[in-house]
Amino acid sequence: MEKPATSPRSGRTLGPPIVICDKVVKQFGSNVVLREVSLTVRQGEVVVIAGRSGSGKSTLLRCIDHLETIEGGTINACGHLMGYRVDRLGRRTELPDRKVARQRRDMGMVFQSFNLFPHLNVLHNITLAPVRISGEEAAEAERHARELLDKVGLPDKADAYPSQLSGGQQQRVAIARALAMRPRVMLFDEPTSALDPEMISEVLDVMIGLSDGGMTMIVVTHEMGFARAAADRVLLMHGGEIVEDAPPDAFFDAPESEHTRLFLSKIL
């Protein structure tokens, strides 16, 4: 696992593994959503996860941030064993809320439905967590927030409220809000699925910019154009398993799995 790796996309050398999912099992009642899923993502890597709805791709992403409990396996992210403590006998107990909260601060997450805080303006959406949770100084947090708003192309929206923004603008604010915590990994859960077609590219452009900047990203999306442009690896999930894991060229031109061929024939 420790052999040096280079990204076929950028030619950059990738760092050590930063997210390691090992035989993750997730069940909702008797419905098994993830079947021993294993996945390693290296620092600086951009991984796109595709698949039909119900294939488990969003659930996997949510498990990485421990927004969902898992029934089996382990997830190691940014040096934390996410959500659990394992004793010498191998028994798992869920960590208290406070500890999980601390673990999550190393990762940022962007949701399909944006989930901006409607009662706060854009600036306060972005500075809330750094100031209240990380104890950052208000002035410094604001400076950083304005820098991030610049980066996502919304320098003049600091005082606007979420209800005054378009979907694409809201999603870009949501990205800035996640970045404000200076995460080491960014998780994107279908970030463009709720957007009108003409707003998709403005969000994808920001994401491509992030990946160019070396951010480690795990992106659940149907946007295969983004996968081609920015991904180091593209995964296909089907029935709670990863059935394809390949660099974009191989994924699109010479997929190994029948499921991938079927998926591509429907989506392209």
Partner 1 sequence: MSWSWDHFMRFLFSEYMLNGVWTTIWLATLAMLIGCTLGVIIAFMKMSRNIAVRTFANTYIWLWRGTPLLVQMVIIYTVLPKVGLKLGVIESAIIALSLHEAAYFAEIVRSGILSVNKGQDDASRALGMTWAQRMRYVIVPQATRIVIPPLGNQFNLMIKTTSLASVISMEELFRRTQQLAQIEFKVLEAYMCAACWYLLMTTIWGQIQKMLEAHYDRPFGPVADAADPKSGKPLGDAAAQV
Interface residues with partner 1 (CB under 8 A) are 65, 67, 97-98, 101-102, 104-105, 107-109, 111, 113-121, 128-129, 132-133, 156, 160-167, 169-170, 174, 177-178, 181, 187, 196
Toward partner 1, which CB reaches closer, 148 or 243? 148
Which stretch of DSSP H or E encloses residue 106? none
* Beta-sheet strand order (sheet of 216-220): 107-110, 185-189, 216-220, 46-51, 233-238, 241-246
DSSP string of 129-192? HHHHTS---HHHHHHHHHHHHHHTT-TT-TT--GGGS-HHHHHHHHHHHHHTT--SEEEEESTT
What distance in Å separates the CA atoms of residue 2 and residue 175, rounded to the nearest whole number?
Answer: 31
CB of 260 to partner 1, least distance (A): 30
- Residue 164 CB, nearest approach to partner 1 (Å): 4
Q: How far apart are CA 74 and CA 63, in angstroms?
A: 10
Shortest distance (Å) from residue 110 CB to partner 1: 9
CB of residue 145 to partner 1, shortest distance in Å: 13
- Closer Cβ to partner 1, 141 or 246, answer by number: 141
Q: How far is the CB of 137 from partner 1 (least distance, A)?
A: 18
CB of 109 to partner 1, least distance (A): 4
Three-state secondary-structure class, residue 71: coil
Q: CB-wise, 21 or 185, nearer to partner 1?
A: 185
Nearest to 222 by CA among 20, 33, 47, 49: 49
Task: Tell me whether residue 14 or residue 122 sits nearer to partner 1 (CB atom).
Answer: 122
What sign has the CA pseudo-torsion 57, 59, 65, 66? negative
In the complex with partner 1, the residue whose CB is nearer, 137 or 196, is: 196
What residues have CB less than 8 Å from 31, skipping those under 6 apart?
Answer: none
